[in-house]
Amino acid sequence: MSIIVAENLSKVYPVAVKEPGIKGTITHFFRRTYREIKAVQDVSFEIASGEVVGFLGPNGAGKTTTLKMLTGLIHPSSGNVRVSGQIPFRRQEAFLQKITLVMGQKQQLIWDLPALDSLKINAAVYNISDKEFRRRVGELTEMLSLEGKLTQAVRKLSLGERMKAELLAALLHRPSVLFLDEPTLGLDVNAQVGVRDFLREYNQRYQATVLLTSHYMADITALCQRVLLIHQGKLMYDGSLDGLLERFAPYREVHVELAHPLPREKLMSYGDVKLLEGHTQQTDENQTSVCFVVPQEALTRTVSRILADLAVVDLTVTEPPVEEVIGRVFQAGVV
């Protein structure tokens, strides 16, 4: 069953155009002209209940605009969208009880008050009883490892603790649909891992549907099996993360440690094997690390040749970094 349905979703912003100088200012004051910015163009997708989906794109691609339309913060210029059977921009209570939006660069907790005070306000807004409030706060506090932190002023919490407290506040009413916009933005590695672990556990415990945007590919690879790629307002790819790698990176990286350095010409003689930019083999005796790029269909044959012909100390085969693959897709601009 699809919990999120977007059909030909578009958002166009009119932007006033002003010519420079006094004449341009006067003209702009009395007779403005506009141009259209197409933030999102005919985006369609469906997300099933309990699914965790990554929503990827460069800055300005239309990710946040799409999330705002899905949560009812802005009205789409055209197209249809339904979340949990509701039309988001109507902002009906039944809809608001089921969704939450977490933005890594925004906060809802009151800066100078203990987080617990802000949570009590949220409980009143969502008509959560005192008994249920204590139970939910206790449960989420344990899941987020926030014991002893909620009674401190928000400004005294570390960035990671503050983000966890923001998540607790956003999930206090136990929404079934989570829209997360850069939830690990600015966090250190340990805090990022903590947030990811919590989101994974929350999804598994409550079968919540999650749409996640992040510039940290570790968030995506750890949580999402399916990804949506948006570029210049258009949906470029909708499918599995593994399928994306297979389609746009049909090669593997073979990292080799050599016992003795070899000239580039010797290493380049291995047919369709290439050296990765930045990893070119040098004649310096201290430089013995080489990274070959090998088409997947030639991997077995090429590795066998390398092991037979070269003095290999160590050899590993890896997939190309997800960031590199996705960057190549956005650079090409086509799927």
- Whether residue 46 sits in one domain with residue 118: yes
Q: Which residues face 36 on adjacent strands? A: 14
Q: What is the pLDDT of residues 249-268, one digit of tens each?
A: 777 888 888 888 877 677 77
- Whether residue 64 sits in one domain with residue 84: yes
- Whether residue 185 sits in one domain with residue 72: yes
> What percent of the chain has a predicted confidence (pLDDT) above 70?
92
Residue 37 is assigned to a structural domain of this protein: yes
- Whether residue 260 sits in one domain with residue 143: no
* DSSP designation for 114: B
Of 245, 279, 298, which residue constitutes the final position of a domain?
245
Q: What DSSP element (H or E) covers 122?
A: helix 115-125
Q: How long a stretch of residues is the chain? A: 335
CA distance 159 to 151: 16
- Whether residue 150 sits in one domain with residue 75: yes
- Whether residue 143 sits in one domain with residue 36: yes
Model pLDDT, residue 90: 92
Q: What DSSP element (H or E) covers 180?
A: strand 177-181
- Whether residue 256 sits in one domain with residue 237: no
What pTM value is reported for the model?
0.80
How big is the CA angle at 292 (ends 261 and 239), to the nearest 5 degrees? 160
Instruction: Look up the CATH number of the domain holding residue 55.
Output: 3.40.50.300
Residue 326 is assigned to a structural domain of this protein: no
- Whether residue 191 sits in one domain with residue 264: no
- Whether residue 144 sits in one domain with residue 259: no
In this structure, which amino acid lies at residue 140? Answer: L
- Whether residue 313 sits in one domain with residue 194: no
- Whether residue 160 sits in one domain with residue 99: yes
Model pLDDT, residue 132: 96
- Residue 57 belongs to what domain range? 2-245
CB 210 within 8 A of CB 203: yes
pLDDT in tens, the chain (335 residues): 799 999 999 999 998 888 888 888 888 888 888 889 999 999 999 999 999 999 998 888 999 999 999 999 999 999 999 999 999 999 999 999 999 999 877 888 999 999 999 999 999 999 999 999 999 999 999 999 899 899 999 999 998 899 999 999 999 999 999 999 988 888 888 888 989 999 999 999 999 999 999 888 889 989 999 999 999 999 999 999 888 877 777 778 888 888 888 776 777 765 545 544 444 444 444 457 777 888 888 888 888 988 888 888 899 888 777 777 777 777 766 55
- Whether residue 169 sits in one domain with residue 155: yes
Q: Is the dihedral of CA 252, 330, 188, 196 positive or negative?
A: negative
Residue 264 is assigned to a structural domain of this protein: yes
Number of domains in the chain: 2
